[in-house]
Structure 1
Amino acid sequence: MTPFSLRIFVADGDPDGLRIVEKSNWIGKALVFPRALLPQVKARPELAQTGVYLLLGPRPDGEGEMLYVGEGDPIRPRLESHYAQKDFWTRAIGLTTATAGQLNKAHVQFLEARLIALARAAKRVPLDNANQPTEPSLSEADRADMEVFLAHMLGMLPLLGVHAFEQAPAVALPAAAPGQPAPTAPTLLYCRGKRVEATGYESTQGFVVRKGSQAVAEVVPSLESNKPARLAQREDLIERGVVELDGDAYRFTQDYVFSSPSVAAAFVLGMSSNGRTKWKDAQGRTLKALQEAELD
């Protein structure tokens, strides 16, 4: 991974207002703003350009966000239409170029299609997009340019609080041996319950539960009554195919990032759980004990 810097200009002096974001060695520019500011922000020249945009807002049936990905030639009329017709979104990110005319309709159709495909594959948030658009025909050179443009966008978006396109990080997972220095790669951890076993590890994105891990098929009644958001998340991941029923348990179809070890353990065990004590290494040491040992 290559280090980079972001320049964030707070255009009206309000940290929650319009922010203009530029990335080192990138021809692009992002405008980040709350929905309430669209009547003022729509006059910005950047929104008169061709580009892609993201609409984000709370899910109506559970914790977390949902996402809509779109493109516009230019962006402004599309945002005005969604301002009138889409209720869920509370903030928007418009992505175009610092100099007008560097993106055309085919370019942004390609970016839109790739972003939607990446979000569907990652399954981090539900999408408000009903269909998967077809990638337009681009020349070999244009396609290469757009892949570079996309890579810069994907590197920047997590710093703007957008994790919808991130796949679980691919890492080697050596198990830590007793008495040996901590490995540079994450330690493989286990969570075991009634006839289920899951493996996972901590990452910079959150806690990753690995493909093939199991989760109980039925949750305890207290989870349903006391943690409805956890139950809604479980139902959502089942619906989106992150887990599939395999015999009398669910099995993960992909590596999946949870926000914390406790959220991951609650999903696996079907009950509220302290992930710091439920996740253990091959020698039976808890995540809590491993973290305390690292500090010492």
Structure 2
Amino acid sequence: MQTPFSLRIFVADGDPDGLRIVEKSNWIGKALVFPRALLPQVKARPELAQTGVYLLLGPRPDGEGDMLYVGEGDPIRPRLESHYAQKEFWTRAIGFTTTTAGQLNKAHVQFLESRLIALARAAKRLPLDNANQPAEPSLSEADRADMEVFLGHMLGMLPVLGVHAFEQAPKGPAAMAAPVLTCKGKGVQATGYETSQGFVVRVGSQAAATVTPSFAKMAGPSELRADLLKNGVLMAEGDVLKFTQDYVFSAPSAASDIVLGGCTNGRLSWRAEDGRTLKELQEAEAAQ
């Protein structure tokens, strides 16, 4: 069961697209969210003189979707200044520190960096600019437990801040409560369900090995399909492709596009056991 929480977002310069300082109820941490262009002004803030972990986000070189870099700094400021000069892709940054200086040390943020990179690689939702997987530092049992709690707060906040790179398909009772839907066609069959994160296609589902000409001309779906193949989410098995893990798509149509290898309407392509489409199920729920 998810625990409700509240966030306090302070717009420090009065510009909603400028520096935002985000704090979570009953947590020692805080986040600074700001566009790259503001780093020359933001770098003077005391939070960036602390030890912390940070995310850099921006468009991929091909312009289709975002990519991510995860880093740590002791303190953060010199690392961001280096990336400002040397990394081209990023357009916004999120830095995590604590409300009181000195509550995180170098080993703590190295642990957080390692865990975040591992989670992003497992979720396979955004390509990473990090070349390697850093090893976890040696932490005491108590420190490790504390950092797992700190990480949990971060992961709870990030989707609210528009970052979904670490989210994997939900499991457990909440996921099982959703009706399982099926998408069939072109000799393949896939199953999935709706969640608050998006539409989940389940492990073992099939996808078409070939795509239609119209699909091939659509940059977004084509790039997503290429990413899924590159990351091993889709693997060839005989004449079809197979999902090697549960995978969250942004919408039912994005999921059925990949499954059927064409331009589809997911609300019509996904059907329940009784034959009703997702559209019909949603209309029935709305009428209740």
The farther-off stretch of 53-62 and 118-127 is 53-62
Q: Does 1:19 align with 2:10?
A: no
Deviation at 1:62, TM superposition (A): 5.4
How many residue pairs are counted as aligned between the two chains?
286
Deviation at 1:222, TM superposition (A): 1.4
Which SS does the other structure have where 1:147 is aligned? helix
What is the aligned partner in structure 1 of residue 78 from structure 2?
A: 77
Distance in 1 of aligned mates of 2:84 and 2:167? 27
Matches within 5 A, 1:53-202: 53-61=54-62, 63-172=64-173, 185-202=177-194
Task: Structure 2: give runs of 5+ residues left out of the alignment.
Answer: none
Distance in 1 of aligned mates of 2:32 and 2:51? 13
Deviation at 1:58, TM superposition (A): 1.2
Which SS does the other structure have where 1:208 is aligned? strand
Deviation at 1:60, TM superposition (A): 2.3
What is the aligned partner in structure 2 of residue 8 from structure 1?
A: 9
Which SS does the other structure have where 1:158 is aligned? coil
Distance in 2 of aligned mates of 1:222 and 1:81? 43
Question: Any conservation in 2 of the 1:62–1:233 contact (CA below 8 Å)?
Answer: no
Which SS does the other structure have where 2:235 is aligned? strand
| Structure 2 counterpart of 1:287, one-letter code | L
Deviation at 1:87, TM superposition (A): 0.5
Give identity over the alignment, percent: 77
Q: Cα deviation per residue 1:203-231 (whole Å; 9 max; x = unaligned)?
A: 10011100000000110111112x12211
Query: RMSD of the TM alignment (CA)?
Result: 1.2
Distance in 1 of aligned mates of 2:184 and 2:38? 48
| TM-score, scaled relative to structure 2 | 0.97
Question: Any conservation in 2 of the 1:62–1:229 contact (CA below 8 Å)?
Answer: no
| Structure 1 counterpart of 2:161, one-letter code | L
1:276 is aligned, of 262, 267, 283, to 267
What is the aligned partner in structure 2 of residue 29 from structure 1?
A: 30
1:246 is aligned, of 211, 226, 237, to 237
Task: Structure 1: give runs of 5+ residues left out of the alignment.
Answer: 175-183
Distance in 2 of aligned mates of 1:91 and 1:45? 19
Q: Does 1:286 align with 2:287?
A: no
Q: Cα deviation per residue 1:48-72 (whole Å; 9 max; x = unaligned)?
A: 0000000001122353211000000
